[in-house]
Chain A
Amino acid sequence: MRRIWAVAVNTIRQALRMKVAFIFILLLVVLLPVMALTTTGDDTLKGKLQTFVSYGLSLTSLLLCLLTVIISVHTLTSDMKYRQIYTVITKPIRRFEFLLGKLLGVVLLGAVLLVVFSVLIYAIVVYTPRYFNPSQAEIIQAQNEFFTARKALSPPDPDVSKEVAQALKGLVESGDIDQVYGGMSNEEIIRELTVLQTAAKRSADAGQELLWEFENVRLQDPNGSLFIRFKYEQVSVTPADSQIYSRWLIGDYRAYKYGIPGDVRLYPVQRKDPIKTFREIEVPGSVVADDGYVAVLFLNDQSNGASVMFPLGEGIQLLYKADTFTANFIRANLVILCRLIFLASLGILASTFLSFPVAILGCVAVFAIATVNEFVVESFYYIDSLDMTIVYAYTLKWLIRLLPQFDKVNPSRYLVPGELLSWSALGFVVLSLICIKAFLLMILGLIIFSFRELARIIV
C-alpha cells in the first residue's frame, strides 16, 4: 500500500508541476464566478440559480472529465516514453501496484478538485439569494422549486393494446396499411401504433378532461406541498396569446370514480399557462389520501378551442419533497466522481498499449459517445429497420452498450428542477460505471501491462 501511495503522490505531483492541471483549475476559478454574476435565466431568482447550477456543474464535470482523461493517459505514456518506468518497475513494486498507484493518483486529484469546485458552486448558489436581494415571492419559489430534492412520479403508461389492435385491424381492412407503413415489419407497425395511441391518451380536445392516478405518494412532511409539473405541446390551433386556460382538480378522486365513500378533499385550481414551457402547480400536501393515493384531473377549457397534449415522458409529473438540496447536491457530485473514476480507468487502460495521441483520441471519443450515448443507442434502433440487423446486432450494438451512458444519470438534469437524485439512482451509476465497467477496464489494463515488454520500443 505504501508503494501504491508513493506512485499516487508522484502522479499528482506530475500533474500539478507539469501544469496540465493548472490550466483547467485556472479556467474553472475564473469562469465559475463570472458565470455566477452574468447568468440571468428567466430573470427570477429561481431561473438564475437553475442556469448557474446547470452550466456551472456541467462545465466542472466537462473540464474535470477532460483533465482526468489527459492526466491518466499522460502519466503512464510519458513514463514509458521517457523511460522513467525502467527505474521504477525494477524496484520492488508489482506492476499492478504501479497501475493502481497511477489510478489512485489521478482519481484523488480529480476528487480533490471536484470537492473544491463543487464547494465553490454550492457556496455561490447559497449566497446568490442574499446578494441579489430578490422579492419574498421569488425566495419562496426558489425554496420550493430549487432548494429541494423532490421525488418525481410519472403516471403509469396506460394499457393501449386494445386500441392498437383495433387500429391495426382498421388499417388492414381499409387497405391503407401499405400506404402508411409500407416496408415495415408487423412488429414495427405495432410499436409505432402504441406510441400514437399512448400519446392520444395524453391529449384532450377543448372541453375534454384527462385523469391520472398516482399511488404510493409519501410526503416527507405531511404539511409540505405537492407540485404538479407539466408542459403543453402540439396544440392543434395555437391560441392568440399562446396561453391555455385550464382547470384542475387534485385529490382523492376514488369517491367519484369508483363510488368508494371517503373524505372527499378535491383541491381546485384555475390556470393560464403558456405552451411548450414547463410549469408547476403547488398544492397542499393534505390532498394526498392516507394510503398514498392522489389523482390529478385536468380539464381543457372550452374557450381554448384547441386540443392540448402532454408529451410522453416528462409531460406530466407529480413532485414532492423527499430530501434536502444539500444531500441531492452531494449525490450529484458523487455521480460526477463516478465518471472521473471510469475515465481514469479508461485512460490507464488505453495507455498500457497505445501512445499518447492515439490513447487521448480514443478516450475523448469514448467520452463524447458516453455523453450522448442514449441518443446513439436510439439512433441505432432505427438501423434495425434496415436490413443490417445481423451485422450490427452482434457487433456495434454490444460495443455501444458496453460504453457508459453518462446522459442516463445527468446531475444537472436533477438539480435544475430540484428533482430527487435518489440513492438507488446513484447506486445504479456506481454499479454499472465503477463495479462493472471501470473494473473490467482496470482488469484488462492490468493484464496487458503485466505481460507487456516495457523496454520494447514500439515505433
Chain B
Amino acid sequence: MEYAVETFSLTKVFSDWWGRGKVYAVDDLNLKVCHNEVFGLLGPNGSGKTTTLKMLLGLLHPTKGKSLCLGGDATDPKISARVGFLPEESYLYRYLNARETLDFYGRLFRLDRQVRRMRIEALLDMVGLKAVANRPVGTFSKGMARRIGLAQALINDPDLLILDEPTTGLDPIGTRQIKDLIIKLAKRGKTVLLCSHLLADVEDVCDRIAILYGGRIQAEGEVARLLQQENKRQITTDAISDEAIVKIERILQEEQAEFHINSPMHKLETFFIDTVVTAQRQSRRTSGAVSTTKIGDFLAKETVSDNILDRLTSAATTEATTAGSPVGAESSPDETIAPKPDDGLLGRLSEPTVQTDAGDANQTAETKPVETETLPAEGPVREDILDELTGRSKPQSEEDNHGDGAKAGESDNA
C-alpha cells in the first residue's frame, strides 16, 4: 500500500441512453496521492474533478481502469470506515437537526454512544453550530449546511479525507478554519485529497497539486516547486529609511537587475479577519454560525485510541506535566491537549472572548452552567477525560493561547 489513493488509467465516458454523444469526463487518469499528503485536484468547471472523486468512492463505475483508496475498494466497509467525504454540496437530511444528523452518520460508523456523543459535541463546537444544534438542517444557510457537511465527514476521524470544493459557501473565517484543519490533519499523518477551483485555498494548504483539463492531468507536482519563480528574488523588510533604499538601488543597479520597490498590500483575508476581530470585541453575539478557531479535540490529538486505559494514562501524564503551571485555579489537565490555532492571525479571534472572560465574571458564570449541564455524571477521573475529549475547556485553551505560547508550541510539536 504505497499510496493512499491510486488510480490506474481511470476513464469515465458519459453517453446518452442510446450510447451516443460520448463525453470523456475523465480520460486515462493516473493519480497517485502519497500517505500523509495534502493533494489538490484543480481544474475549471467540467474538467472531471468531481467525477474522479465519485469514481474513487464507488458512486460511479469507471468505464475503464480502476482506483484504490487506502489500498482497497472504497465500497468495502473496512476501507470506507477510514474515509471521510464531503460532497460538492452538503446533501443533508433536511428534517434532521444538526445533532441528529451527526448522530445518524456516527451510527453508520458503529461508534459507541459515548464516543458518538463526545465527537458530536466536539464537532458542533468546532464548526460553531452548537447554538443552532437543535434546528432542522433544512433551515440552515448554505455556509451553515457546509459546516455540518464538514463535521459529518470528520466524525470517524478519517485517515483519508476527500473534500469536494470544501470552501464553497463559507465565509472567509470558515474558509480559513478549514484550511487550518487540513494542515492540522496532515500534521497528524492523515491524507487529504481535495478538489477546488479556488486557487488561493489550494495554494495555502496543498503539498502537491494536479491540474485537470478535459479529464486529463495537464500539470502535476509540488506546489512550491511549480510556483517558484527561479529567475526572481523577493526581499520583504520592515519600513526602512529612504537612504537605505537608495543604497539598495545602487547595489541592484550594479547587478543590472530589473526591480520595483513598494509597500506590500495586506491580503484581503487578513484584512477581513482583522475587521471581524474588531467587531467581535464590540458585540458579543451573532445569530449565524459562531466563528471559532477551534478544531475538534479528537481530531487534534496525536493518536486516537479507543482504549479507555490509554486515555486514563494520557490524562494522568498531562496532569502531571501541568501541575505546576501558573495558569490559575481553573487549570485542568486538558489544556495541553486543547486545540491551538496554528496561526497568530486566527488566534486573535479568540482574544476578545478571553478578555471578557477574565474581566467580566458574569459572562463566565453565564457560559459555565451550559457547559456543565451536558457533563455526564461520572467519577472525577472520567470527567476529566470526557472534558479532554469533548473540548469543554474553551476558556483555558484560549488563555493558554495568549498566555503560554511556548508550551502551546511544545505540545504542537509533540
Contacts and interface: CB of A to CB of B under 8 A. Distances in A.
Given A2-B110, A6-B108, A86-B59, A92 B91 contact: no
Interface in A3-47: 3, 5-7, 10, 13-14, 17-18
A88 interface: yes
Which secondary structure dominates where chain A touches chain B? helix
A85 B54 CA distance: 12
A305 to B, nearest CB: 72
Nearest to B17: A458
B74 interface: yes
A87 B107 CA distance: 13
Question: Which of A7, A88, A92: most chain B Cβ within 10 A?
Answer: A92
A256 interface: no
Nearest to B111: A2
A77 to B, nearest CB: 14
B83 interface: yes
A14 B138 CA distance: 12
A23 to B, nearest CB: 16
A7 B110 CA distance: 12
Interface stretch (A243-251, A272-280, A427-435, A449-457): A449-457
Q: How large is the interface on A (under 10, 10 to 19, 20 to 34, 35 or more residues)?
A: 20 to 34
A85 B93 CA distance: 10
A233 B225 CA distance: 99
Interface string B70-105: 000010011011010101010111111000100011
A91 B109 contact: yes
A352 to B, nearest CB: 15
Interface string B99-126: 0100011011110000000000000000
B58 interface: yes
A453 B59 contact: yes
Nearest to B50: A455
Nearest to B79: A92
Contacts of B104: 6, 10
Interface in B145-161: 149, 152-153, 156
Contact of A92 (B54, B81, B93, B94): B81
Q: Find the residue from B58, B81, B108, B136 having the highest chain A CB count within 10 A.
A: B108
A90 interface: yes
Interface residues of B, number: 33
A105 B105 CA distance: 17
Contacts of A408: none
B87 A86 contact: yes
Given A6-B107, A83-B87, A14 B95 contact: yes
Given A453-B59, A454-B59, A455-B59, A90 B95 contact: no
Interface string A439-459: 000000000000001111000
A172 interface: no
Contacts of A453: 59-61
B159 to A, nearest CB: 13
Contacts of A383: none
Contact of A84 (B91, B100, B136): B91
A82 interface: yes
Contacts of A89: 58-59
Nearest to A457: B14
Nearest to A18: B95
A87 B149 CA distance: 9
B241 to A, nearest CB: 58
B110 A3 contact: yes
B104 to A, nearest CB: 6
A90 B80 contact: yes
A14 B93 contact: yes
B173 interface: no
B186 interface: no
Contacts of A17: 95, 136
Contacts of B83: 90
A82 B96 CA distance: 14
A94 interface: yes
Given A2-B110, A92-B78, A13 B87 contact: no
B95 A86 contact: no
A453 B108 CA distance: 21
B178 interface: no
A90 B94 CA distance: 19
A262 B58 CA distance: 81
B95 A84 contact: no
B257 to A, nearest CB: 53
A82 B90 CA distance: 10
Contacts of B74: 90
Contact of A86 (B80, B91, B100, B105): B91
A91 B93 contact: no
B57 interface: yes
Contacts of A84: 91-93
A93 interface: yes
A18 B136 CA distance: 12
Interface string B31-65: 00000000000000000000000100111110000
List the 6 closest pairs (A to B, CB-CB), nearest first: A92-B77, A6-B107, A455-B59, A17-B95, A91-B108, A92-B81
17 contacts: A2-B107, A5-B107, A6-B104, A10-B93, A13-B96, A14-B93, A14-B95, A82-B91, A83-B87, A86-B91, A87-B85, A87-B87, A87-B153, A91-B80, A453-B59, A455-B60, A456-B60
Interface of A: 2-3, 5-7, 10, 13-14, 17-18, 82-94, 453-456
